[in-house]
Amino acid sequence: MMCLSSGIRSIRAWAKFLLYFLAFSYAGMAAERANIVLIMADDMGIECLGSYGSAAYETPNLDRLAENGVRFEHCYSTPLCTPSRVQIMTGKYGFRNYVDFGTLPLDQVTFANLLKDSGYATCIAGKWQLGGDDKTPGHFGFDQYCVSHLGGLEEKPDEEAKGRFAHPLIQQDGRYLPGDRIRDAYGPDLFCDYLLEFIDANQDRPFFAYYPMVLVHTPFVPTPDSLEWNDPLQRDVKESRNFAEMVRYADKLVGRIIERLEKRGLLDETLILFTGDNGTHVSVSSELQNGSTIHGGKGTMLDTGTRVPLIASWKGSGARGLVSEDLVDFTDFLPTLLEAGGRLDVMGEQLDGRSFLPQIRGEKGDPRQWVFCHYDPNVPFGGFQLHAGRWARDQRFKLYEDGRFYDVANDPREQKDLQSLERIPGAASARKRLREVLESMPAWVEVGAHHRSSEQNKKYLGSTSGN
């Protein structure tokens, strides 16, 4: 009997030890699982932020975010919204999975799918424009959504609802927002409100909030902080003078998110990332602090079309006040988020990107030696000179697939194709290295495995007007 009693006590002791061990291990794992807020502005190049040298716009919240984190000098998207969104969400270059404008193929796995499978609460608020219907955000891993540019509902929206700004057309968790919610409302405010409610509701568990903003896309119209906001005749006037107001309002919404995280005591365990989907609209010219002028390059493969801001701030585990010259492209976001979530091992297939989380922490990491851009927009409307192409580049040199080669650090407008390489130290070796990168990429036709018939596309796309 004593032996039995002693054995039971021993089992209980071991069970107690195991529980303590598991609890300790879980606590350690939870500490490594950051909350994640990924903010992506729409059509905002680096020249729009004070921390990147802008003299034309007010961005105090984003500038403080950079002061308290890491500002990356070399982050590259594609030149247009949908290919950038597909790339950032899947961690793959467009030749693998980009088929049409306004489409994310249903066979793709996104960062939200993977983080949700790892125990995260997930949410998207803002611009969708990836096709499908009210079931599609859930298919791609989002527990909750509040978005524009999503079709497929049989329900009719409020007859006055339109666009994404004043009196907006918005779907939220399977329903159109009713007239009393959107009348006299501003779409960017509604998206931000929804995201803040999501943070409040999930503050006690790991969460991922993806915020693809609708600002600062055209039309350039007044914000609620503009003098013209209460003048209906001014709301739809497409004037560039409103652009600065829209930049200021985007910054204000970022400030609201930071304030809410701080209020809830979540800043230490939350990784905040801010970027843009492509360069600024071609109609916008912006003055820099050094006296130069930057003309927007959206839709082009120039620096002004593909070089975008990237600010990362993680108060509890990240570096502060650093500027990184490391190369980053949009395939790198997915592995970075997975590593921040403690689950870089969940991918069952090869990604094109690599994590830059070590750099966010102030460590050396494994920085890229090149970035690559595959661009085949397949856009069903005009407005831009949208020419397909490919390039590979490093911090200084850029090589196109057709052989054009530029010293973009000193020739950002790409006006001088380098013919005499021996006069520029390092140019010949850089071109050889970048040519090897381009030749290593699979052919364009590889994406053909995803192509659907035109009728299938119509069914899948739903309502995806605009760009």
Residue 241 has phi, psi (to 5 degrees) of -65, -20
- The least confident of 245-259, 425-439, 449-463 is 449-463
- So what's the pLDDT on residue 31? 45
Residue 4 in this model has a pLDDT that exceeds 90? no
Asked if pLDDT for residue 288 goes beyond 90, the answer is: yes
pLDDT tens, 190-207? 999 999 999 999 999 999
The yes-or-no verdict on residue 157 having pLDDT over 60 is yes
Per the CB < 8 A criterion, the answer to whether 383 and 105 are in contact is no
Among candidate residues 248, 187, 212, the one with its CA nearest the CA of residue 41: 212
**Which residues are registered as beta bridge partners of 38?**
210, 273
Asked whether residue 466 carries a pLDDT value surpassing 50, the answer given is: no
Rounded mean pLDDT of the chain? 86
Confidence band of 9 (pLDDT split at 50, 70, 90): very low
Q: How far is CA 184 from CA 167, 180, 232, 459, in A?
A: 6, 9, 10, 33
- Split at pLDDT 50, 70, 90, the class of 359 is very high
Residue-level pLDDT at 11: 38
Check: CB of residue 328 under 8 Å from CB of residue 366.
no
How many CB atoms within 10 Å of residue 435? 15
39: phi then psi, degrees, rounded to nearest 5: -110, 130
Residue 174 is predicted with a pLDDT of 93
**What does the pLDDT look like over 112-156, one tens digit per residue?**
999 999 999 999 999 999 999 999 999 999 999 999 988 777 788
Judge whether residue 180 has pLDDT over 80: yes
Q: Which residues contact 175 (CB under 8 A, 6 or more apart)?
A: 153, 155
- Output the CA angle 282-188-97, nearest 5 degrees: 60
CB 22 within 8 A of CB 14: no
Coil, helix or strand at residue 430: helix
Distance CA 84, CA 69 (A): 24
Kindly tell me if the per-residue pLDDT of 236 is higher than 60. no
Mean pLDDT of 224-245: 77
Per the model's pLDDT, the better-predicted residue between 96 and 231 turns out to be: 96
Report the pLDDT value the prediction gives residue 212, as an integer from 0 to 100: 98
**Strand ranges in 17-87 using DSSP code E only, listed in sequence order:** 35-41, 70-76
What is the per-residue pLDDT for 41?
Answer: 98
CA angle centred on 36, ends 82 and 393, rounded to 5°: 50
**pTM for this entry:** 0.88
pLDDT band at 381 (very low <50, low <70, confident <90, very high): low
